[in-house]
Amino acid sequence: MKFGYFDNEKKEYVITRPDTPREWTNYLGSLEYGAIITNNAQGYSFVKSGASGRILRGRFNVPPTTAPGRYIYLRDMENGDFWSASWLPVKKDLSKYESVCRHGVLYTIISSRYDGIETETLYYVPLNALYEVWAIKVRNKSGRKRKISLFSYAEFTNEPNENQDLVNMQYTLFISRTYYKDNLIIQTINENYSELGRNIPQEKGISGRRFNRFFGVIGAEVVSFDGDRDVFIGNYRDYSNPIAVEKGKCSNSLNYGKNSCAGTQVILELDVDEEKEIIYVLGDGAEETGRKVMEKYKEKGKVEREWEELKRYWHSRIENFKVKTPDESFDSMIGIWNAYQCFITFFWSRAASMIYVGHRDGYGYRDTVQDIQGIIHLDPQSAKDRLRLMLAGQTSKGVALPLVFFDYEIKPNQGLSLDNPYYVKRTGYTEYRCDDHLWLYITTRQYVRETGDLAFLDEVIPYSDYGEDTVYEHLRKGILFSLSKLGKHGLTYGLDADWNDTLRLGEEGETVFASFQLYLALKIFAEFAEKKGKKEDLEWAEKEASKLYENLQRYAWEGDRFVRGFMGDEVIGSKNNSEASFWLNPQVWSVLSGVATSEQAKIVMDNVEKILNTDYGAMIMYPPVRTLGLPVFRMILFNPGMKENAGIFCHPQGWLIKAETMLGNGNRAYKYFQEINPANMNDKAEIREAEPYVHCQFVEGKDSPFHGRAHVHWLTGTASSVMVACVEGILGLQPDYEGLRIDPCVPSHWKEFYMERMFRGKRLKIKVENHSGFQKGVKKIIINGKEINDNFLPESEMKDENEVLVIMG
């Protein structure tokens, strides 16, 4: 089944019917003012934190969807019939009601057509604003004069702390009230308290400061209003039939001790074919702020200009990389949606979605360091800034804080570590993970290779607890930490977790996966040492890498697989096990790290295909855990086929694709891409259920009765891992210290494709020809008419604008 299509020209996904299997969502704004919206206008908003800066409510896990939303009701004042500008909440019969939703890059447009009345509502957050705009155009296409009322509905939280708002009603109901004056509803919270809280993230518990929100109407006079939710909705009614809309008039109520809302009514008299526009603004601030914002939108064309500006800003960031291949779904994802999703994960981390309620007020270490990888080729400066922040989240022992707060500042001697009771209380973390800091090596190298900015390694950055060091020394400390945590096989202890949150090996169990990562970290450090002429460091890192290599080969290789780890003498992921006997990550990382010999690589990657692969990607391990128990095998808590318990974890699919490209298997790499490509499931929405334009965290594996169904949309490491795999692996654009290597690894049926990319401020327009159907190999590169007999394009050959022809062979 199909619910929409990609409009690549406009960089939009167009949802042509509203009864999607789930709410198909989009993001507006940023964490400064964050808003989530679905194809049916459901969703919530907040300032700085979904947990403690909540403005609009979103009730999770309530059927049918995460209600309420940004509702605009329409009522025919002659016959009393009413509907909504989005299909929900009134849910008119779809044989009479049409709805189209266009999700674009940080804006959404929802159009409706019912009984001769057309609406088009643009939802967005202007750049750098602390408010959102809903701009609705209403057109009369009925062939007769019409009198239509528009009713707005926004449901405010009574307390910015989302959880308190929902559960602590003996308090929160009595701290909020609403006011109305001249088209503006104001909500106040703790209004007698003198100190103004600007919705700054609070620790758990009530905010206990003064807050104000405004909701203004521009374009017509408000003829009635309700600031009390229960008066607007009416007793024993719901969002589909509010009494105010049904009777055609609000009651001019103000909230005092109940729930606040912004219900307003304007009346539009529309001649035949006439169109009128009403603009609603909603945000953080008191009357003065609200009035100022309203004033701006009295200026004609303001919304269009802002929307254009917003599009220009975001499109230009995404357009730093363009691609046109024989596969349109690849282009839709890599050129638009995957890039957009990379920015969203980069900005929002795992904070707020329709799955994450917003209670994660910080950057999870490993996730964030990997999220950076997804945008390095698009926005190296933002990548560098975030990398700095994460390096400052590394303790002086070299291990990293599991979570770096959103309000964390880079400054020395903050004393933050797991020895600090404040940090432990605020985050709930008590143990370090073995892998968090190990992601820094790959990301730092990717950044330095992208920019040529080797000086970054000399930049001094504080540790989260005490002291400071150059980036280079941070990296050395990370390795020293890992080397101090080796077990009896000489491999790294798993500690609280390696990448897999559900495998708890502690200080007794060793992880082969993270040991491959440590090996790669040592190789990268050696590479940096060489660049800096530090011979001793180079030798040290190489020597440690060789020892690790020996141990991996001696203990982890079983002839047909690399095992997953050890718990004392017990082997995890061994062919002798009846559960969880074959794991994806150790196979793939044996290749990515360079530990696997070419013979081993072939064996393990063939076995991945044979044992783990399905029509929807490769499972994280197989068979699922059914008896192996806690505390080590935490994945037992999940039903078989779900998440880490033999689900198709999508994040590692990127690594799988990349590994296949390193081995030259373009056909297989592409096949794996297609299996997890959301766009490829566009006409199978009844199976995937999730949005066809975003990657999910996992897809149910073959032991689930719902094999193929996808979950945990938007905020996932899949975005960056697949992006890197496709750009560096399949398309073969691999920045290196002195230039750009172009080494595509493509399906043999790709005879020609185009890419455009910025590299160190220079534009490269690259055409690749592959008429003989190779999967890998470059015969020659011609840059601006000059032939280079290699796949490496030195920076010195590049002008500001470059035409590049790559001949595979």
Active site residue 501: yes
436 binds ligand IFM (CB under 6 A): no
Residue 498 CB, shortest distance to ligand IFM, in Å, is 9
Provide the residue count of the chain: 809
In the bound state with ligand IFM, the residue whose beta carbon lies nearer, of 348 and 499, is 499
- Asked if 500 is part of the footprint of ligand IFM (rule: CB under 6 A), the reply reads yes
One residue of 499, 513, 633, 714 binding ligand IFM per CB under 6 A: 499
Of the pair 87, 649, the CB lying nearest ligand IFM is at: 649
Beta strand 97-104 pairing with 107-114: antiparallel
Rounded least distance, CB 364 to ligand IFM, Å: 6
721 lies in the binding site for ligand IFM (CB under 6 A): no
| Residue 644 binds ligand IFM (CB under 6 A) | yes
Residue 380, preceding peptide bond in cis (omega within 30° of 0): no
- Spatial distance between the Cα atoms of 49 and 124, rounded to a whole number of angstroms: 18
**The pairing of beta strand 4-7 with beta strand 12-15:** antiparallel
Residues 731-790, interacting with ligand IFM (CB under 6 A): none
The distance of closest approach from Cβ of residue 450 to ligand IFM in the complex, given in angstroms and rounded to an integer, is 24
Smallest separation, CB 620 to ligand IFM (Å): 8
Task: Work out whether 624 is an interface residue with ligand IFM (CB under 6 A).
Answer: no
Q: Which stretch binds ligand IFM (CB under 6 A): 45-53, 111-119, 363-371, 602-610?
A: 363-371
Tell me the closest approach of the beta carbon of residue 380 to ligand IFM, in angstroms.
24
For 443, which DSSP code? H
Compute the least distance from the CB of residue 616 to ligand IFM, in Å: 18
Q: Can residue 720 be called a binding residue for ligand IFM (CB under 6 A)? A: no
CB 411 within 8 A of CB 372: no
Compare residues 119 and 718 and give the one whose CB is closer to ligand IFM. 718
Q: Closest-CB residue for ligand IFM?
A: 501
Structure tokens belonging to residue 274: 């006439």
User: What is the per-residue binding string for ligand IFM in 303-332, x denoting contact by CB under 6 A?
Assistant: ------------------------------
Is the CB of 579 or the CB of 769 nearer to ligand IFM?
Answer: 579
Residue tagged active-site, from 7, 453, 501, 736: 501
Residue 19: what are its φ and ψ, rounded to 5°? Answer: -90, 50
Task: Please enumerate in sequence order all residues whose Cβ is within 8 A of that of 565, keeping only pairs 6 or more positions apart, or say none.
Answer: 491, 494, 503, 505, 509, 510, 511, 512, 513, 571, 572, 573
Give yes or no for residue 364 binding ligand IFM (CB under 6 A): yes
Give the CA dihedral 726, 727, 729, 731, nearest 10 degrees. Answer: 100
| 366 in contact with ligand IFM (CB under 6 A) | yes
CA–CA separation, 311 and 646 (whole Å) = 40
- Please choose, from the candidates 505, 489, 488, 491, the residue with its C-alpha nearest in 3D space to the C-alpha of residue 628: 505
Q: Which is nearer to ligand IFM, 178 or 500 (CB)?
A: 500
C-alpha gyration radius of the chain: 28
Task: For residue 809, give the amino acid letter.
Answer: G
Per-residue tokens: 235: 């007793």
Q: Where are the alpha helices (DSSP H) in 214-276?
A: 229-233, 243-247
In angstroms, give the least distance from the CB of 562 to ligand IFM: 19
* Site size with ligand IFM, rule: CB under 6 A: 8
Q: Site for ligand IFM (CB under 6 A): which residue of 367, 469, 689, 700?
A: 367
H/E segment holding residue 4: strand 4-7
At 680 the three-state DSSP class reads helix
Identity of the residue, 75 or 651, whose beta carbon is nearer to ligand IFM in the bound complex = 651
Query: Which distant-in-sequence residues (6+ apart) come within 8 Å of 63 by Cβ?
Result: none
Residue 639 DSSP class = P
CB of 338 to ligand IFM, least distance (A): 18
Q: Are 62 and 165 in contact (CB under 8 A)?
A: no
Tell me which stretch binds ligand IFM (CB under 6 A): 114-122, 203-211, 215-223, 362-370.
362-370
Nearer to ligand IFM, 366 or 449 (CB): 366
The one-letter amino acid code at 307 reads: W
In the bound state with ligand IFM, the residue whose beta carbon lies nearer, of 135 and 584, is 584
What is the DSSP secondary structure assignment for residue 258, as one 8-state letter?
A: S
- Which one of 501, 530, 560, 736 is in contact with ligand IFM (CB under 6 A)? 501
Shortest distance in whole angstroms from residue 500 CB to ligand IFM: 5
Backbone angles phi, psi at 8, to 5 degrees: -65, -30
Q: Which is nearer to ligand IFM, 663 or 712 (CB)?
A: 712
- The one-letter code for the residue type at 203 is E
Region of 204-212, 307-315, 323-331, 361-369 interacting with ligand IFM (CB under 6 A): 361-369
Calpha distance 495→13 (Å, rounded): 42
Interface positions with ligand IFM (CB under 6 A):
364, 366-367, 499-502, 644
Kindly list the catalytic residues: 501
